[in-house]
Structure 1
Amino acid sequence: MEELKNIHTQLEAMTNGISELREDLKSMLKREELEELIKNTVSTIMKKIEESMLNQIEKEVKNRTNTFKEQIASLEFENGQLKQTIIELNSSTTKSITELETQVGKLYDTSREALKLANYNEQYSRKNNVKILNITKSSNETETSLTQTVSNILRTTADVELKPEDIIAIHRIPTKKGAIRPVIVKLRNNNAKSSIMKKRTPIKTKGFRLVDDVTKRNQGLISRLLLHPDIKSAWFLNGSVFGQTTSDERIKFDIFDNVDNTISDFRNRNRKLKTGGSM
C-alpha cells in the first residue's frame, strides 16, 4: 500500500508540474503577444512620426524651394535688365567710339592738310631767300658790313652786282656748334634771286655755297628720301621736293607722303598712260 501511495504522490506532483508548465506557457504566449503589441505600437508611432517629419520636411523644402524660385526669378529678371543695359551701353559705346574714330580721322586729315598748307606758305614766304654757306664771321660784323661782304663775294666770284635796294633783309641763322653760321639774304624779287642762283657753280669753286632757304619740314623730307633704298638723289626746286629713283624716275614728294606708296602710285599712273596711249 505504501508503494501505491508513493506512486500517487509522484503522479500528483507530475500533474502539478504539468499545470504549472501550462501556466508558464500561457504566460509566455502573453509576453510574446505583448512584445508583438509593443512592437506594432512602436512601429505605428514611428511611422506616424516619420510621416509627420516627412510632411514637415516636404513643406519646408517646398517653402524654401518656392522662395529660391522667387529669388532666382528676381535675379534672372535683374540679370536680363543688366544684360539689356550692357547691350545698350556696348552699342552706345561702340557708336561713340566709331564717331570719335571718325572725328579723330577727320581731325588727323585736317591737321595734316593744315600742316602741309603751313609748310607751303612758309616755303612760299622764303621763295626769294638765298642761303649762303661758309662766309666767315668778322669780329665786329654788322648788318651793313655783312651786306658789303656778301656783295663783294658775289661780285668777285661770279661777277654779280647785288644792289642794296635788292636786299630786304640779311642775317645769320643758327647752326651746329663750332660750324660757321649760314647767311640768309631775303631779296626783293625772284629776278634778283635767279641772277644769283645761276652763278652757284663759279661761287662754289671759291669755297662758298648758294642754296635755297628750305623749311625744316622740307629738309626733313629730303633727308628721309636720301635714306630710302629706292631713291638715289633728292633736291628742292621751285618750292617742291623731288627725288630720283634708282630707275631714273623723277618724282615729286610731299612732307607726309609714304615714299613706297608714292613711287608705286607714280609707276601705276605711268603704266595707265602708256596703256592708254598704245590703245
Structure 2
Amino acid sequence: MADQQAKDTKEEQKNEKVSVPLLKQSTLFLTRVPSEIKSQIVSSKPASKQRRISSAGEEDSSEIEEIKCALASIQLSIQKIVTKDDIREIVRSVVADFKEDLKKELQEELTVSIKEEILKDIKSEIQEELKSQKEQYTEDVAKIRKQLTDKVDGLMMDNDTNMENVSKLKKQISKLETKLKTVNELANTAVSMANFNQQYSQKNNIKILNWPERQGQKLKEFCTIVAQRTGITLDVREILAIHRIPSSDKQHPRPVIVKFNTAEARKSVITKRETLKDDFIMLDHITSMNAQLLRTLKAENKQHLVDSAWYFNGHIFVLDRSGHRHRIDVMDNIDQILRA
C-alpha cells in the first residue's frame, strides 16, 4: 500500500512536470488568441484545477481539453492572420512607396547636388572671367595711365613753351596796341585833315539842285538867270567851273556844282538863294563826311542832346539843349562832347 502511494506520487510529479511546459506553451499561444476565446479559456481553468485535485486521471484529461481548446483558439487566430499573398502585396506596396519616396529624395538630392555643382562651376567661371578681365583692365589702365602721364608731361612742356610765347605775344600786343593807338590817332587826324582840305577846296563852291536839264543846255546861262532874278552882274570869268555831277536819284535832275573864283563872288550869289528858289535850290557844297555828320546830329536819337546843327565856313556847329555852341569834327565823339 505504501509502495502504491509512492508510485502514484511519482506519477503525479511526472505529470506535473510534463504539464508545466504544456501550460507555458498554451499560455504563450493564449497571448495571441482573441480576447473572447482567451476569456473562455481562462474561465475554464478553475474547474480543471478542481478536477485535478480529485484525481490524476481527471487532471490529464482536463489538460488535454485545455490543449485542444488552445489549439482551436490558435486555429481561429491563424484564420485572422494576414496571408502570404497579402504580405507580399503589402511588402510590394511598401517597397513601391519606399522606392517612390527614395526616388523623390534622390531626385531632390541630385537636383540640389547638380545645382550646387552648376553654381559652383558658374561661380568658378565667373571668378576666372572676372579675374582675367581685372588683369586685362589693370593692364589697360596702366597703359592708359602711362599714355596720359606722357601726354600730360608733353602738355606741361608745351604749356611752358606756350606761356613763354604768350608772354612774348603780350609784349608784342602791348607794343602793337600802342602803335595802333598812335596809328588811329594819326588816321583820325589824317581823315580830319583830308576832310578839312576837301572842304576848304570846296569853300567857294555852290551846289545847285532841281535845275531842269535840257539837251544843248549851256550851264553858263546860270549867270544870266542870276542877273535877271537878283540884279547881280556876274562876269563869266568869276566862275572857274560849272558842271553836273553823277547822282543815284533818277527822279530829279543831276546836281550842278558852280566853282567861283573868289569867296566874295560866291557870297554875293548864295545870299540870294531865297530869290532864286523858284528856279533852283542853292546849297553849300559840303563834303560827304560833313553831310553825314549833319545827318547824324539831326537824327532822332540825338534830339535829346542837340537843339540845332548847321554848316558854316567849312565847319559843322551844334547847339546843345543847354544853349552851348560846339564845333564838331567828323572824328569827334559826339556824345562825349555834348554830355560834358
Common topology (TM > 0.5): yes
Distance in 1 of aligned mates of 2:152 and 2:216: 90
- The answer as to 2:191 corresponding to 1:134 is no
Q: Which residue of 2 aligns with 1:170?
A: 242
Q: 1:88 aligns with which of 142, 149, 164?
A: 164
- The runs of at least 4 consecutive aligned structure 1 residues that moved more than 4 Å come to 74-83
AA aligned to 1:253 is I
Distance in 2 of aligned mates of 1:76 and 1:126: 68
Q: 1:238 aligns with which of 300, 310, 313?
A: 313
Q: Which residue of 2 aligns with 1:110?
A: 186
- The answer as to 2:332 corresponding to 1:257 is yes
Identity between Structure 1 and Structure 2 (%): 33
Q: Which residue of 2 aligns with 1:47?
A: none
Q: Which residue of 1 aligns with 2:297?
A: 225
Q: Which residue of 2 aligns with 1:191?
A: 264
**Residues 79 and 183 of structure 1, relative CA distance in 2, 3 Å threshold:** closer
Alignment of 1:138-157 (within 5 A): 138-141=214-217, 145-148=218-221, 150-157=222-229
Distance in 1 of aligned mates of 2:328 and 2:196: 13
Gaps of 5+ in 2: 1-144
Q: Which residue of 2 aligns with 1:203?
A: 276
Distance in 2 of aligned mates of 1:158 and 1:209: 14
Distance in 1 of aligned mates of 2:256 and 2:265: 16
SS at match of 1:168: strand
**Residues 77 and 247 of structure 1, relative CA distance in 2, 3 Å threshold:** closer
AA aligned to 1:112 is N
Distance in 2 of aligned mates of 1:90 and 1:256: 34
SS at match of 2:317: strand
For residues 1-35 of structure 1, give each alpha carbon's deviation from its aligned partner in whole angstroms, at most 9, with x where no partner exists. Answer: xxxxxxxxxxxxxxxxxxxxxxxxxxxxxxxxxxx
Structure exhibiting the larger radius of gyration computed from Cα positions: 2
TM norm structure 1 = 0.62
- Quote the offset at 1:131 in angstroms: 1.2
Q: Which residue of 1 aligns with 2:86?
A: none
- Quote the offset at 1:83 in angstroms: 4.5
Distance in 2 of aligned mates of 1:243 and 1:133: 25
Alignment of 1:259-274 (within 5 A): 259-265=334-340
Equivalenced residue count is 192
- Quote the offset at 1:84 in angstroms: 3.6
SS at match of 1:201: coil
Alignment of 1:6-25 (within 5 A): none
Distance in 2 of aligned mates of 1:199 and 1:139: 27
For residues 169-226 of structure 1, give each alpha carbon's deviation from its aligned partner in whole angstroms, at most 9, with x where no partner exists. Answer: 100122312112121111111111111122122223x342221110000000000000
Distance in 2 of aligned mates of 1:92 and 1:153: 71
C-alpha RMSD of the superposition: 2.6
Q: Which has the higher contact order (CA 8 A, sep 6+)?
A: 1
SS at match of 2:220: helix
SS at match of 1:247: coil
Distance in 2 of aligned mates of 1:75 and 1:172: 73
Q: 1:212 aligns with which of 268, 274, 284?
A: 284
AA aligned to 2:269 is I
AA aligned to 2:306 is I
Q: Which residue of 2 aligns with 1:58?
A: none
Q: Which residue of 1 aligns with 2:136?
A: none
Distance in 2 of aligned mates of 1:84 and 1:120: 52
